[in-house]
Amino acid sequence: MKCEIIKDLLPSYIDNLTSDESNKEIENHIITCSKCKSELDNMNQDINIETLEINKKDIKPLKKFDKKYRNVFRNISICSLIIYLIALYYTQYSFNDVYDTRARLAIDLQTISENHDIKNSNSYSTELQKLLNQNYKNVLSLEIYTTDYKNTLYTYKNKSNADTDIISTHITGDVFNKKKKNIATFYVGIDYKPVIMGNAILKYSALIGWISLITYIILLLKSKFVSKF
**Structural domain that includes position 18:** 3-61
Specify whether 81 is located in the same domain as 95.
yes
The pLDDT score that the predictor gives to residue 229 is 47
If asked whether residues 178 and 196 sit together in one domain, one would say: yes
Same domain, 106 and 184: yes
pLDDT tens string 122-150: 999 999 999 999 999 899 999 999 998 88
Note whether 165 and 202 are same-domain residues.
yes
The Cα–Cα gap between 112 and 177 comes to: 9
For CA atoms 11, 12, 15, 18, the dihedral sign is negative
DSSP state of 123: G
100 against 23, higher pLDDT: 100
Please state which of the ranges 12-26, 108-122, 156-170, 194-208 shows the lowest mean pLDDT. Answer: 12-26
Band (40; pLDDT cuts 50, 70, 90): low
Domain boundary among 61, 81, 110: 61
pLDDT of amino acid 161 = 63
Average pLDDT, the chain: 81
Q: What is the pTM of this model?
A: 0.65
Same domain for 140 and 37 = no
How many domains does the chain divide into? 2
Q: What is the CATH number of the domain that holds 143?
A: 3.30.450
Boundary (domain end) residue, out of 39, 61, 83:
61
Instruction: Tell me, yes or no, whether 7 lies in a domain.
Output: yes
73 and 22 together in one domain? no
CB 201 within 8 A of CB 87: yes
